[in-house]
Amino acid sequence: MQPPVLSPYQSLMAATPVVHRSVQVDGRTTHYWVYGPEDADRTVLAVHGFRGDHHGLETIAAHLQGVRVIVPDLPGFGVSDPLPVSDIDSYVGWLTGLHAALGLGRDTVVLGHSFGSIVVAATVAAGLDTRLLVLVNPIAAPALQGPRAVGTGIAIGYYRAGAVLPKPLGLGLLRNPAIVRVMSIAMLRSHDRDLRRWVHNQHDRYFSAFANRTSVLEAFRTSVTHDVSEFADRITVPVLMIAAEHDDITAVPEQRALAARLRDAELVVIPQVGHLVHYETPDVAAEAVLRRMADAPRRTKRDGRTKAGRASRRPTATDARADAARADAARADAARADAARADGARADAARTDAARTDVARADAARTAPRSDARDRTGTDTAAGDSAAGGPTDGGVS
């Protein structure tokens, strides 16, 4: 019998109060967990990523000491009921309804990790009011364009196969432990053996907790056909972006380009970390959130006025130079990101042309007259046995 896998944050988690509750949103049950003091004067509503559940964000919640943190299971994941259709409009309706059902107001900070960043950004863009929007490992650029397009296409094929195969085979594919481990390894950057073991255990335990195959396929399609930049021009509240230096899903230049588009954004880049900031450096992420929460009341409201009794600091020449430097860096990063996407598009086009040529040759070979009637059975079976890569882009946890 193997020893239990202990969390590196177990002492902090043990000291953090947590209560499990549920609420009806549009006739369906959403389960949520409340971390921290119930009577806290600050509240964060946090939304986890694709194929995860509330466990993924409890480490950040525990580090937000003195704050009430509410973490639901997304519909169709964990133990929450699925939506009739898992598209972006349905997620926006769900989060808006949950916010209202819990009696939350503008003072509640709204946070989303990975796919959760898309959900919260879309909801705030649709009108949900908050004093601060926090995006952790935000999906800042389209997954179907540029260098990630091929990997995303493979992952789409994986989830589609999981949905259309006979149920035992489909579920076996989607919950295959080896594939889950590949996804976990692909996203993890830490070299700490104990931390790696714990993160893999978290994915082993919770990455396959979804309601049904249709929900997970629809949710994945939503996660790769939308991104935060789609909603940037309609987000007018202050935004804190917590990105990672080695995030393979959205690179730092694309994060900077997104920050430059937002009306009031601060970008924090955590070094030597990938897409699992919530597992690898929850303390650093929580520290940034607490600092920005303390500053948020002094920031301009949506109508341009400052809160009564608080004076906003007059910008200095140093501020102007810093802002100009950040804007120049963001423009340069955006240009590099555009160039990378263009290179990826050209490569995709070249692959498509090559594939069309191969198909044309195959068609010509089939229609050409045969010179003999010899039996050629068994000559093509090996062609379908190889697989190019794996669905590592499917793990937006």
> pLDDT truncated to tens, each residue of the chain (397 aa)?
566 788 999 999 999 999 999 999 999 999 999 999 999 999 999 999 999 999 999 999 999 999 999 999 999 999 999 999 999 999 999 999 999 999 999 999 999 999 999 999 999 999 999 999 999 999 998 875 655 666 777 888 888 888 889 989 988 888 889 988 988 888 888 888 888 999 998 998 988 899 999 999 999 999 999 999 999 999 999 999 999 999 988 899 999 999 999 999 999 999 999 999 999 999 999 999 999 999 876 434 443 333 322 223 333 333 344 444 444 554 555 555 555 555 554 544 454 454 444 434 444 444 444 333 333 333 333 333 333 334 444 445 5
Tokens 């240009």 locate to: 335
Give the per-residue pLDDT at 157.
Answer: 85
State CA 295 to chain mean position distance.
26
Residue 258 CB partners (closer than 8 Å, separation 6+): 138, 140, 141, 228, 229, 232, 241, 265
**C-alpha pair distances (Å), 185 with each of 54, 271, 391, 393:** 21, 18, 12, 12
Greatest C-alpha distance within the chain: 94
Question: Domains along the chain?
Answer: 10-300+322-339 (3.40.50.1820)
Give the per-residue pLDDT at 85.
Answer: 96
- Count CB-CB contacts under 10 A for residue 347: 14
285-299: b (≥16 Cβ within 10 Å) or e: bbebbbebbeebeeb
Tokens 């919950």 locate to: 175
State CA 316 to chain mean position distance.
36
- Helices in the chain by DSSP H: which ranges? 10-14, 58-63, 88-101, 115-125, 149-164, 167-174, 177-187, 193-206, 213-225, 252-261, 277-280, 282-295, 317-367
